[in-house]
Structure 1
Amino acid sequence: MAEVRHNWSKAEIEEIYNTPLMDLIYQAATIHRENDDYAEVQISSLLSIKTGGCPEDCSYCPQAARYHTDLEVQALMQVDQVVIAAKKAKEGGASRLCMGAAWREVRDNRDFDRVLEMVTAVNSLDMEVCCTLGMLTENQAERLAEAGLYAYNHNLDTSEDDYKRIITTRSYDDRLDTIKNVRKAKISVCSGGIVGLGETTADRISMLHTLATMTKHPESVPINALVPVKGTPMENQPRVPIQDMVRMIATARIVMPKSVVRLSAGRTEMSLADQALCFMAGANSIFAGDKLLTTPNPAFNEDMQMFDILGLKARESFKEHKKATAELQD
């Protein structure tokens, strides 16, 4: 059984990342089989509840107000619209709904009150609820927890050294502070990064090092392949080679053996064989549905066909909570 460590050095992670690819996949697959049901994949659905008009300058994001993309700005959705979307996602096989709002940070106003209502409503459907709303204070995290929030997504995107090249309107410490506030509220942490921003291998290793040396590893680690969007500074970035995604997923699996590693954005550009390699390397979560906030994603039925071919199965909602409750009763 792989040991869960929090004292990884960058040199150790670099050595893992640079292992010959077939050996790396084998090592990650072995650890994955020791720690979890390797054929079980957690399916999330991502819903943009407030689209565009964001004051941030994230170089990859079409939702930034300063970039001229074809994105149509949309106001915050109504609670009943979100419930309809959640039910559709659940029927498609999703056990978690992640709601994203294009905000720099959460403000204590009527919009936040409405988001809290959304969280409570989706939670009542026996779905795990995740939000990604920007920066959070400790009090706001507590309010989300009280409403029934299961997880909060706040990606690091890249390394601390590389961060200022990608985003100037907030700092790396701002990201880490929000994650700490989420932890204090006892909400599950979802945090990972994006591959293909023009970062170096050292940046990728550094980002994984930051995640793997946290006092508690994120329960979910999304590994995204950049989807270049016309009108953003990253529009001409080349497509990420599949071997880079496999290396990131495998390394994340080895250094954070108990975390769910999510094969996130960029799947529309991947073949079935590409995705199979990622699952073999330790990925055990995907986003399903035809959109990831504002970028294309494979439809539910395509993913179910893939699951059937590869012998994968959907993970039930609240599995860890149900497992812990059963152990207490025993």
Structure 2
Amino acid sequence: MTEVRYDWTKEEIAEIYHTPLLDLVYRAATVHRENKDYAEVQISSLISIKTGGCSEDCAYCPQAARYNTGVDVHAMMPKDEVIAAAEKAKAGGASRLCMGAAWREVRDNRDFDKVIDMVKAVNSLDMEVCCTLGMLTESQAQRLADAGLYAYNHNLDTSEEDYKRIITTRTYDDRLNTLKNVRKAKITVCSGGIVGLGETVEDRISMLKTLSNLPKHPESVPINALVPIAGTPLADQPRVPIWDMVRMIATARIIMPRSIVRLSAGRTEMSTVEQAFCFMAGASSIFAGEKLLTTPNPSFDTDMAMFELLGLTPRKAFKNGRPNEVKEMETAG
């Protein structure tokens, strides 16, 4: 079993990242086989429960109120629609439902009460429930935990050094404080980043260092390829080379051997062969369903055909225990 470390240096991570590609994929695949069922992939579905009108200025996001991206602002989705979406996702093979709201931070109001009710309802369907709602206080995290929330997504996006170029309306420490609050409430952490923002390789390595040096590695590490959206400041960014994604996934797999590394946004631009390389490199989760919040995504049927071709099987919900009973990753299967 691979040793889990929390003291990776930038130099060590850079050496891994720059390993000749086939050697890197082989090493990552070896680590993957030592620590997890490499043919098992978690399928998550992501829905937007409150769309658009966000006060943040994230340079990649079509939901920021200050950008004209054609995204209509929608109020909170009714609970029955959320349950219907969850049931459809479960029927398609998903074991986790992630609910996203375009908020800067959670506020203690009626909308948050509605989210709590949604968490309870989806949890009762025997699905893992994840939320991404912006910044979170310790007491708010505890309310979500008490409702049965399994995971909370709060991505670092890029390195601390690069962060102000992408977002000015909050700080990197704001991000890390939310992750601390999620941990205190014993909710599992989902945190990764985006490749293709115009960041340097050094920024990617710095972000991976931050994630791998947390007191406990995130249980889920999403690696997103930027989907450039017209109207955002990053609309003209070139598509990320697939090999950059493979390097990021492989490096994350090696330095965080027991985390689930999620091949996230950008899959619609990838061929089956390119996605197969990502699975070889250690990806063990995907988002499925037609949309990721507001951007296109492959359909469940397309993904199931790919799973059959590659010999992959969907991971069952709660494999590492129920909410607040999640086994330590050091002993997780």
Same fold (TM over 0.5): yes
- Whether 1:247 aligns to 2:241 is no
State the secondary structure of the residue aligned to 1:126: coil
Q: How far apart are 1:311 and its partner, in Å?
A: 0.3
- Whether 1:80 aligns to 2:73 is no
The one-character-per-residue Cα deviations of 1:128-166 (angstroms, maximum 9, x if unpaired) are: 000000000000000000000000000000000000000
Q: How far apart are 1:195 and its partner, in Å?
A: 0.0
Rounded to whole Å, the distance in 2 between the matches of 1:316 and 1:207 is 30
Cross-structure match for 1:151: 151
Rounded to whole Å, the distance in 1 between the matches of 2:307 and 2:218 is 25
Cross-structure match for 1:199: 199
State the secondary structure of the residue aligned to 1:106: coil
The one-character-per-residue Cα deviations of 1:272-306 (angstroms, maximum 9, x if unpaired) are: 00000000000000000000000000000000000
State the secondary structure of the residue aligned to 2:34: helix
Q: Which runs of 5+ in 1 are unaligned?
A: 326-330
Which AA in structure 1 matches 2:308?
D
Rounded to whole Å, the distance in 1 between the matches of 2:205 and 2:276 is 23
State the secondary structure of the residue aligned to 2:238: coil
Rounded to whole Å, the distance in 2 between the matches of 1:7 and 1:198 is 27
Which AA in structure 1 matches 2:232?
T
Rounded to whole Å, the distance in 1 between the matches of 2:82 and 2:66 is 27
Rounded to whole Å, the distance in 2 between the matches of 1:232 and 1:7 is 36
Q: How far apart are 1:197 and its partner, in Å?
A: 0.1
Rounded to whole Å, the distance in 2 between the matches of 1:158 and 1:187 is 23
State the secondary structure of the residue aligned to 2:49: strand
State the secondary structure of the residue aligned to 2:320: helix
Rounded to whole Å, the distance in 1 between the matches of 2:187 and 2:175 is 16
- Whether 1:230 aligns to 2:230 is yes
The one-character-per-residue Cα deviations of 1:60-115 (angstroms, maximum 9, x if unpaired) are: 00000000011111100111110010000000000000000000000000000000
Q: Which runs of 5+ in 2 are unaligned?
A: 329-333
Cross-structure match for 1:312: 312
Rounded to whole Å, the distance in 1 between the matches of 2:63 and 2:307 is 32
Counting only pairs closer than 5 Å after superposition, residues 1-330 of structure 1 correspond to structure 2 as 1-321=1-321
The one-character-per-residue Cα deviations of 1:298-321 (angstroms, maximum 9, x if unpaired) are: 000000000000000000000011
State the secondary structure of the residue aligned to 2:129: strand
Rounded to whole Å, the distance in 1 between the matches of 2:327 and 2:99 is 26
Q: How far apart are 1:324 and its partner, in Å?
A: 5.2
Rounded to whole Å, the distance in 2 between the matches of 1:58 and 1:7 is 30
Rounded to whole Å, the distance in 2 between the matches of 1:324 and 1:68 is 44
Rounded to whole Å, the distance in 1 between the matches of 2:258 and 2:178 is 22
Deviating beyond 6 angstroms after TM superposition, the runs of 4 or more aligned structure 1 residues are: none
Rounded to whole Å, the distance in 2 between the matches of 1:157 and 1:90 is 28
State the secondary structure of the residue aligned to 1:203: helix
State the secondary structure of the residue aligned to 1:316: coil
The range that moved more, 68-77 or 214-223, is 68-77
Which AA in structure 2 matches 1:126?
D
Rounded to whole Å, the distance in 1 between the matches of 2:276 and 2:181 is 36
State the secondary structure of the residue aligned to 2:64: coil
Q: TM-score, normalised by structure 2?
A: 0.97
Rounded to whole Å, the distance in 1 between the matches of 2:90 and 2:214 is 32
Rounded to whole Å, the distance in 1 between the matches of 2:131 and 2:246 is 26
Which AA in structure 2 matches 1:291?
K
Q: How far apart are 1:5 and its partner, in Å?
A: 0.3
